Amino acid sequence: MRSRFSAFAVADPAYLLRTWHSSRRPQRLSLDAQVTWTRLEIVDVAGGGLFDTAGVVEFRAHYRSGTAQGVLHEQSTFRREDGQWRYLDGTQQDA
């Protein structure tokens, strides 16, 4: 989760696509150059241990866009694929 946040922060769509589960990976990914990701808060984690095949991370990602500030609050599901954790999908939560 933290590495994917960092990839958003440094605008690295190639990394984001590589860490997306193949069953849901988009063909391409465009990032909004106006958005600056500033801070990640991990709210809760379920699963994702050494012997797990799935895990869920609830987080708040803080950002700026122009003069506005905001928070993306999401619950993301990850699954192991080829021995690596991959982002499967996410559900936005009320902020």
Residue 5 confidence (pLDDT) above 90: yes
pTM, to two decimals: 0.92
Nearest CA to 4 among 57, 69, 70?
A: 57
Is 10 in a helix, a strand, or coil? coil
CA distances for 82 relative to 22, 29, 35, 50, angstroms = 10, 22, 32, 14
CATH T-level fold of 2-92:
Nuclear Transport Factor 2; Chain: A, (3.10.450)
Enumerate the domain spans of the chain: 2-92
- Is the pLDDT confidence value at 95 over 70? no
Q: 17 near 30, Cβ under 8 Å?
A: no
CB 65 within 8 A of CB 34: yes
